[in-house]
């Protein structure tokens, strides 16, 4: 009998929803930071021995958006768009299984490249695929709503 290999499957990206208290704090923070959205800021971290840091305007904009999403109770994932990701990371981002994603790559629905026996997918390609799926779903929902209106189904 051949020795068995340990299961080295990486865990899926952990999704953590903010608590009600975290969402409240985030909403309050957005209210205070929103007016600074398009300029750099100097922040003073009082609990860290009065450490000051400077944030560029783009970081302030991202921070406000992040806090806005947390304030609505949403989970947030930050992804660098210039890089590549593994098939498991891409599948996690799309909310699909890795075998399903590999099927997409095999059919050419999304480009990839091989690194040895592994595949890598550009983050921009994954995001483009996700956005095109959202557009297709929106068109389909609009069409269903239009048909329901024509048939007077009460929608």
- Reported in sequence order, the residue ranges of 2-151 that DSSP labels E, i.e. its strands, are 41-45, 51-55, 84-86, 113-115, 118-122
Residue with more model confidence, 44 or 104: 104
Q: Where are the domains of the chain?
A: 20-71, 84-150
pLDDT tens figures, 22-67: 999 999 999 998 888 888 888 888 876 778 889 998 999 999 999 9
On whether the 84-150 domain is CATH 1.10.760, my answer is: no
Sheet holding 113-115, edge to edge: 84-86, 118-122, 113-115
- pTM of the full structure: 0.58
pLDDT at 5: 37
């Amino acid at each position: 009998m051949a020795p068995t290999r340990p299961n080295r499957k990486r865990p899926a990206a952990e999704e953590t929803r903010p608590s009600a208290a975290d969402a409240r704090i985030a909403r309050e923070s957005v209210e205070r930071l929103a007016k600074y959205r398009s300029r750099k800021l100097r922040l003073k971290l009082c609990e860290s021995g009065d450490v000051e840091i400077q944030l560029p305007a783009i970081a302030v904009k991202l921070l406000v958006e992040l806090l806005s999403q947390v304030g609505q109770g949403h989970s947030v994932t930050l992804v660098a768009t210039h890089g590549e990701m593994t098939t498991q990371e891409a599948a996690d981002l799309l909310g699909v299984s890795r075998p399903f994603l590999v099927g997409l790559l095999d059919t050419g629905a999304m480009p990839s490249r091989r690194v040895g026996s592994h595949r890598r997918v550009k983050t921009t390609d994954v995001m483009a695929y996700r956005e095109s799926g959202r557009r297709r779903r929106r068109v389909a929902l609009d069409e269903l709503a239009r048909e329901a209106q024509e048939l007077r189904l009460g929608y």
